[in-house]
């Protein structure tokens, strides 16, 4: 366990914390906007709860390593900008793009926790490894649910958009 290793682990934990803060903003926005897709909305709402709990867990890992959540790192600042541009966008197929963006963001999370687990294992930080493994399972479940429901959301959107007088957008 070297100082360099701990430095990288801390950087990645801080990135993950910032990422979950952005996930909260995105999910909250989607939940508030979705009107005609109740199943998708309910699932996003559940995941919003998980996201808030994940932030607390990550903060605990960062503090145990003697640090605190802080400024955004470079890449994450850009991911944030991506997330923010997706939130509140005014496109005609908002529900499809919203589900797709959430699916993509969830894989940013899956990659992050996969990297964090490898780093925590290399360092021998068992508690961080355990926390990240449990969060990873929640993100994988979210990703699988979204992928399974993308075709259904697409078909519902197309059916609504072909029906006169029906709002398909969100």
CA dist., res. 30 & res. 25, Å (int): 9
Tell me the backbone φ, ψ of residue 106, rounded to 5 degrees: -60, -35
* Residue whose CB is less far from its own copies, 49 or 116: 116
CB of 168 to its own copies, least distance (A): 9
**Interaction site with its own copies (CB under 8 A):** 2, 4-5, 8, 11, 73-75, 78-79, 81-82, 85-86, 89, 91, 93, 96-97, 99-101, 103-104, 107-108, 110-112, 114-115, 117-119, 121-122, 143, 147, 150-152, 154-155, 157-159, 161-162
Torsion angles phi and psi, residue 26, rounded to 5: -65, -50
Cβ 62 vs Cβ 10: under 8 Å: yes
Nearer to its own copies, 65 or 118 (CB): 118
CB of 155 to its own copies, least distance (A): 6
Q: Quick one: which of 139, 10, 6, 123 has its CA closest to 73? A: 10
Closest approach, Cβ 84 to its own copies, in A, equals 10
Give, in order, the Cα–Cα distances in Å from 124 to each of 5, 7, 17, 63: 10, 14, 21, 16
Of 67 and 161, nearer to its own copies (C-beta) is 161
Q: What is the DSSP letter of 71?
A: S
Q: How far is it, in rounded angstroms, from Cα 152 to Cα 163?
A: 17
Report in angstroms how near the CB of residue 152 gets to its own copies at its nearest.
8
Closest distance between its own copies and the C-beta of residue 10, in Å?
A: 12
Q: Identify which of residues 41 and 97 has a Cβ nearer to its own copies in the complex.
A: 97
- Of the candidates 26, 42, 155, the one whose C-alpha atom is nearest the C-alpha of residue 93 is 155
Nearer to its own copies, 56 or 95 (CB): 95
């Amino acid at each position: 366990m070297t100082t360099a290793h701990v430095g990288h682990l801390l950087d990645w934990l801080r990135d993950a914390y910032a990422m979950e803060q952005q996930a909260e903003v995105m999910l909250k926005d989607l939940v508030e906007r979705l009107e005609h897709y109740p199943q998708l909305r309910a699932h996003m709402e559940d995941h919003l709860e998980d996201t808030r709990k994940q932030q607390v867990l990550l903060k605990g890992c960062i503090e145990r390593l003697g640090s605190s959540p802080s400024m955004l790192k470079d890449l994450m600042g850009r991911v944030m900008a991506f997330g923010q541009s997706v939130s509140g966008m005014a496109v005609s197929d908002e529900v499809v793009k919203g589900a797709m963006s959430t699916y993509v963001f969830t894989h940013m999370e899956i990659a992050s926790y996969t990297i964090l687990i490898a780093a925590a294992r290399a360092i021998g930080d068992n508690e961080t490894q355990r926390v990240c493994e449990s969060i990873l399972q929640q993100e994988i479940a979210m990703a699988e649910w979204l992928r399974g429901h993308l075709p259904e959301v697409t078909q519902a959107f197309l059916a609504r958009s072909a029906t006169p007088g029906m709002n398909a957008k969100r």
